[in-house]
């Protein structure tokens, strides 16, 4: 028997808000980062070594954010996969969904 898990309107609103805020923050960050890169381009003509050192800090920060994001995603996917494995269905019992989702078993 295939049943359907009804959508949770509050979760949908929350998901839309999170995506919208993330996009807005990303666009603002991109605007300021482009200004920083223009500044580094001007500095590179005057002092290449100083520009390289400043960009090295950016590289290390980017590496840290990427490592953290990848680890968080791996933990989330592990949690979801073990929940599905134990319940033998998708979505697991008690989970809220953004849109109407039929239960899948097997």
Tens digit of each residue's pLDDT, the chain (106 residues) = 578 999 999 999 999 999 999 999 999 999 999 999 999 999 999 999 999 999 999 999 999 999 999 999 999 999 999 999 999 999 999 999 999 999 998 7
Question: b/e per residue, 25-47, with b = 16+ CB within 10 A?
Answer: eeeeeeeeeeeeeeeeeeeeeee
Q: Break the chain into its structural domains and give their ranges.
A: 9-46
In this structure, the number of other CB atoms found within 10 A of the CB of residue 5 comes to: 19
CA dist 96 → 34, 55, 90 (Å): 39, 43, 11
Write out the two tokens for 8. Answer: 């949770």
């Amino acid at each position: 028997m295939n049943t359907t898990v009804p959508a949770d309107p509050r979760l949908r609103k929350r998901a839309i808000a999170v995506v919208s805020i993330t996009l807005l923050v990303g666009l603002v960050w991109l605007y300021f980062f482009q200004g920083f890169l223009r500044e580094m381009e001007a500095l590179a003509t005057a002092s290449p070594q100083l520009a390289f050192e400043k960009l090295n800090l950016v590289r290390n920060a980017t590496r840290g954010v990427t490592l953290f994001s990848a680890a968080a995603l791996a933990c989330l996917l592990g949690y979801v996969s073990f929940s599905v494995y134990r319940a033998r269905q998708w979505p697991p019992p008690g989970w809220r969904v953004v849109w109407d989702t039929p239960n899948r078993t097997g």
